[in-house]
Structure 1
Amino acid sequence: MEYLPDKNSSYKDVAYWDDRYRTEQQYDWLGNFSSFKHHLEKIIKKEDSILILGWCFFRCFCVHTAMSHQDDLFVPQIKTISRCLKPGGCFVSITFAQPFFRKRLYARTAYNWSVRHDSYGEGFQYFVYVMTKGEQLSPEDAALEQRLLEEPKSQPASCPTPQDEEDNDFLCNINL
């Protein structure tokens, strides 16, 4: 992959991204729009109102493509989205996070929504999660939530120090 930086710390440099987007022909993280368009067409109607907020789209409809996998950073975003959706509104998350990881965050009775998912991609799978406000969790998702509530809380993982940053693969630092 020609756009991989020489060192992991380059991912936080504006110059790295400016250069990459100036020279890279295609940089869609989740693939071409055509690769997941059919999933969205099942949910979005032409008459729907959509408010665009950064990576998110709202009506009660939201497409979320956040790359954060840190639960402590991600959960407040989900709570806000749940609070903003009207009954029947949808929150759609498109990510490479597998159901084992994402459903642990989404399948919560407190959000007052159902959770469905599908996938797309060849070789590397992406997942489309659809949460519909006002619908109940499936019995499987309700059971998952109950198991998670009964699990003992573990200690948070330690964060890498800046001096460790160059030596570690960034995927090893994701605390799922």
Structure 2
Amino acid sequence: MDRIEIGRQEDVAAPSSALAYLDPHYWDRRFSFEEHYEWFKEYSHFQHLIQQHIKSSDSVLELGCGNSQLCEELHKDGITEITCIDLSAVAVEKMQKRLLGKGYKDIKVMEADMLDLPFGNECFDVVVEKGTMDVLFVDSGDPWNPKPATVNKVMAMLENVHRVLKPDGTFISISFGQPHFRRPLFEAPEFTWSFEWSTFGDGFHYFFYTLKKGKRSLDSKKCSDRLDSPSICLLQEELEGEDYIFRTHID
């Protein structure tokens, strides 16, 4: 996992409570000083999975780009039609400058809310998020029965994603959230996508969800390594960094 490069403001990066992640001012302060941080492992850890679902000709929307290098890594893999959004104007401005400085002139970055996406219907082949949806579960209460406010926000996000995906588009969600918690939301009756998942990571697994619009069926494929109960087994290396702070307050 990449270390945080944030200079003299290290106290801004890792809050004592995950509730700070709900505060837009926290993110603005953090992005003001932090140059780069990767949630849920670097691209190389799940590159083999994402390459199975994105073609070089696809139009891709990344939700909650922050200061991640995901869009740059996708571009290196030949995917050039990329739009990144983030709720933080600070993150957007810094990302725009960083990408232009590195010559990525064709990657679009804009300020937008994933709960109210400013795009027309059926305009992206792929929508991807890495840890962004997990923020919505901070302070969600019982993971088996999350608070109505949490469910409403998650459903608003998913409805927007489903709307902007092309008829055969794919939603990729990279998450700490385990399948038994995510399934009721992903498989809500208003969605037509299938539900599949894989795992990556050492010791503790991160979850790589793929939801293919228009492919839903009663016998949708399920992975052979399905978990039937929550896992809290973590190796020491997984306790390093901010992901663990995030994990302890979600699911």
Which interval holds the TM-score relative to the shorter structure? 0.5 to 0.7
- How far apart are residue 139 of structure 1 and its match? 3.2
The equivalent of 1:49 in structure 2 is 59
Greater Cα shift, 129-138 or 12-21 = 12-21
Question: Would the alpha carbon gap of residues 45 and 172 (structure 1) be closer, same or farther in structure 2, given more than 3 Å must change?
Answer: closer
* 1:107 positional shift: 1.2
Determine the structure 2 residue equivalent to 1:21.
34
Which residue in the other structure is 1:164 paired with? none
TM-superposed CA distance for 1:88, in Å, is 1.3
Q: How do residues 57-72 of structure 1 correspond to structure 2 at under 5 angstroms?
A: 59-65=124-130, 66=132, 67=134, 68-69=136-137, 70-72=150-152
Normalised to the residue count of structure 1, the TM-score between the two structures is 0.66
2:48 maps to which residue? Answer: 38
TM, length-normalised to structure 2: 0.48
The structure whose residues are more often helix, as a share, is 1
Q: RMSD in angstroms over aligned alpha carbons?
A: 3.2
User: Structure 1, residues 73-117: CA drift from partner, whole Å, max 9, x if none?
Assistant: 111110111122222110111111000111111013321111111
Structure 2 match to 1:117: 197
For 1:60 and 1:138, locate their aligned partners in 2 and report how far apart those are by CA, in whole Å: 24
- Cα deviations by residue, 1:139-170 (Å, 9 ceiling, x for unpaired): 379xxxxxxxxxxxxxxxxxxxxxxxxxxx98
Aligned residues: 144
Within the alignment, does 1:136 sit opposite 2:149 as a pair?
Answer: no
Match of 2:180 in 1: 100
Give aligned-pair identity as a percent: 28
Give the partner amino acid of 1:105: L
Q: Distance in 2 between matches of 1:173 and 1:136?
A: 31
Q: Which residue of 2 aligns with 1:78?
A: 158
Is the contact between residue 94 and residue 126 of structure 1 (CA under 8 Å) also seen in structure 2?
yes
Pick which of 5-14 and 126-135 moved more. Answer: 5-14
Structure 1 range deviating more: 128-137 or 32-41: 128-137
Aligned to 2:80: none
- Greater radius of gyration (CA): 1
Structure 2 unmatched runs, 5+: 4-9, 62-82, 87-113, 115-122, 138-149, 222-244
Among residues 82, 87, 106, which one is paired with 2:167 in the alignment? 87
Residues 48, 171 of structure 1: alpha-carbon distance in 2 compared, 3 angstrom cutoff = closer
**Amino acid of the residue matched to residue 98 of structure 1?**
Q
> Deviation of residue 123 (structure 1)?
2.3
